Copies of this chain bind each other. A is one copy, B any other.
Amino acid sequence: MRRIKMEDVARKVGVSAMTVSRALKHDGVVSAATRRRILQVVEELGYVPDQIAGSLSSQRSGFVAVLAPSLNNPPLAESVHALAESLEEVGLQILIGYTNYETKREERLLTELLQRRPEAIVVVSDGHSPRSRRLMREAGIPVVQIWDRPARPIDNVVGFSNEDVGSNIVRFLAERGYRRLAYLGETNDEGTRGARRRLGFVREVERLNLGPVRVHDQAPPPITMLQARAALPRMLQRWPDIDAIVCVSDPCAFGVLSEAQAMGVGVPSQLAIVGFGDFEISRCCSPPLTTVAIDSGRIGHETGQLLKDMLGRSPVAMSKRVSRRVAIDAILTPRGTTRS
């Protein structure tokens, strides 16, 4: 029982394969009558077009490669989901590679994904090896870095400055009278967005002369709630007088909050806590977490829009191929874990 092909449909209808191809692609040039008969036979025979053959012939894979550390992070998962939905409208599919925050893995994945001839590359901006950068640049297709605004972008960017986020949090706390700040972050996080926020934190603490820089790195990314809990006593032992902890993420911040409550440390009276990401938990816990809200869905949609334009699949006039930067807001959202 051979698989049905276009030729089979064509023969049964009494036209050429080309006409079937056109009918299925809404070329609009096929006569309504012929088209109707073709669709009917397609249905009868259960014909499923072979996109691999189509792609080879048309030289368009219909793929967009996406590199992310993992989708175990709801905001990231949401961005990718939104991107997929946006691209779906024009028949583009997503091919995901999980880097696990490992540069070597990223290189290997890139090499593999490139063999699928993606029409574009979307990469969560977490620091890339020179080889990865070269692979992306030389691929000859649009590249979009998301979730950060690197100093020297490869091509397009849809994101915000994580470094500024780190700095802004420090200023925010300083304005509210906090003076002895600490940062709780991740180990082995070179190049990651969390590391960039920590950098912003450190720079701003120095700029504002807020005393010694206090940074505690607890576990490799992504740090878990429980690891964050374990960090709090150590931090308090090391720096008994801190009055605020800036956390690399909301799960991290929630861990700290839980441990503080267990230890009887008042939040925000004795200790302020700031998270990042506006995870669901940050709105629901008590007190709700002060955090930085990112419109994850918008990152996906904007990226999709940008790509549709670049790939000429947008109804809008195709823009010249110039790299673009789309700024996404990072909104510091005061809630219950900082005093006003």
Contact = CB atoms under 8 A, between A and B. Distances in A.
Contact of A96 (B78, B94, B225): B94
B116 A98 contact: no
Interface of A: 3, 46, 48-53, 55-56, 61, 70-72, 74, 77-78, 80-81, 84-85, 91, 93-96, 98, 111-117, 138, 140, 224-226, 229, 251, 254-255, 258, 261-262, 280-281, 283-286
A224 to B, nearest CB: 6
Q: Is chain A's interface secondary structure helix, strand, loop, or mixed overall?
A: helix
Tallying the copies of this chain within the complex gives 2
24 contacts: A3-B140, A46-B138, A48-B114, A50-B56, A50-B115, A51-B115, A53-B56, A70-B77, A71-B77, A72-B78, A81-B98, A91-B112, A93-B95, A96-B96, A224-B280, A225-B281, A225-B283, A226-B283, A226-B284, A229-B284, A254-B281, A258-B284, A258-B285, A258-B286
Contacts of A72: 74, 77-78, 81
Contacts of A229: 284
Contacts of A84: 96, 98
A288 to B, nearest CB: 10
A280 B225 CA distance: 7
Contacts of A56: 50, 52-53, 56
A262 B284 contact: no
A262 B333 CA distance: 22
A266 to B, nearest CB: 15
